[in-house]
């Protein structure tokens, strides 16, 4: 049921977002040299690594680490990077990962391949068995501001409470958070 829900939502979103995807791609290309998409190594279901696309918001050559680990994250942003991140437009290409089956619309956000502390806590709690999501319970309850243990606690809560109704609630909460740019640090 969840996979059918993901595919249906992806089709509806794809139709409505096609122009936005094209517009953002042009904006990224004009703003700085380099590829339009950045393919990030992420941790998927059962801790398998997959490639996840995002519109490039950082300069070419930026270290592949959690943004919070950079000494001055703003120095690495492209001229449109801050806008893309705060509006979450950089996340639109992840619809491709939903089509491929690497992501669901709702689930724990996929960890970077080198976020071992996050992966270890999720694995110990069984959260690694879930397919990661474009958005998730932790995303709507703190997003960039949450320490890793708090994020994992919310992932565990999602693991035990997941349902179609809960997913729809998280999607609506995500839309509200994106529109208000709540809890976005970069």
Residue 24 has a pLDDT of: 94
Overall size of the chain counted in residues: 186
Counting other chains too, the contacts that 157-164 makes at CB distance below 8 Å and 24 or more residues apart are: 158/106, 158/107, 158/108, 158/127, 158/130, 159/125, 159/126, 159/127, 159/129, 159/130, 162/106, 162/130, 164/1, 164/2, 164/5
Whether pLDDT at 41 is above 70:
yes
- With a pLDDT cut of 90, the percent of the chain lying above it is 66
Q: CA 98 to CA 92: how far, in whole Å?
A: 11
Residue 184 has a pLDDT of: 55
Tokens for 36? Answer: 């339009």
Whether pLDDT at 71 is above 70:
yes
Q: What is the pLDDT of residues 88-121, one digit of tens each?
A: 899 999 989 998 999 999 999 999 999 999 999 9
Whether pLDDT at 183 is above 60:
no
Q: For residue 70, what pLDDT band results from cuts at 50, 70 and 90?
A: confident
Q: CA 112 to CA 63: how far, in whole Å?
A: 12
The pTM (predicted TM-score) of the whole model is: 0.83
Q: For residue 73, what pLDDT band results from cuts at 50, 70 and 90?
A: confident
**Contact predicate 59/131, CB 8 Å:** no
End-to-end Cα separation, the chain, in angstroms: 35
Whether pLDDT at 185 is above 60:
no
Burial-class residue 142 by CB neighbours within 10 Å (0-12, 13-18, 19+): middle
pLDDT, average across residues 130-142: 95
Q: CA 53 to CA 93: how far, in whole Å?
A: 6
Q: CA 53 to CA 82: how far, in whole Å?
A: 17
Sole residue written with tokens 């999607």: 171
Residue 86 has a pLDDT of: 86
Per the prediction, the chain carries an average pLDDT of 90
């Amino acid at each position: 049921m969840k996979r059918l829900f993901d595919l249906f939502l992806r089709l509806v979103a794809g139709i409505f977002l096609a122009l936005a995807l094209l517009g953002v791609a042009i904006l990224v290309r004009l703003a700085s040299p380099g590829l339009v998409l950045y393919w990030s190594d992420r941790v998927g279901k059962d801790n398998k690594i997959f490639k996840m696309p995002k519109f490039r918001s950082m300069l070419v050559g930026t270290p592949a680490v959690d943004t919070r680990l950079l000494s001055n994250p703003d120095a690495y942003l492209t001229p449109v990077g801050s806008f893309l991140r705060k509006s979450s437009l950089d996340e639109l290409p992840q619809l491709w990962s939903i089509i491929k089956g690497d992501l669901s619309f709702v689930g724990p956000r996929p960890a970077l391949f080198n976020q071992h502390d996050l992966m270890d806590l999720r694995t110990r709690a069984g959260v690694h068995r879930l397919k990661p999501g474009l958005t998730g319970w932790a995303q709507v309850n703190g997003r960039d501001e949450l320490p890793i243990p708090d994020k994992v606690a919310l992932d565990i809560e999602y693991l035990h409470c997941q349902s179609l109704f809960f997913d729809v609630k998280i999607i609506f909460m995500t839309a509200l958070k994106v529109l208000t740019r709540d809890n976005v640090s970069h």
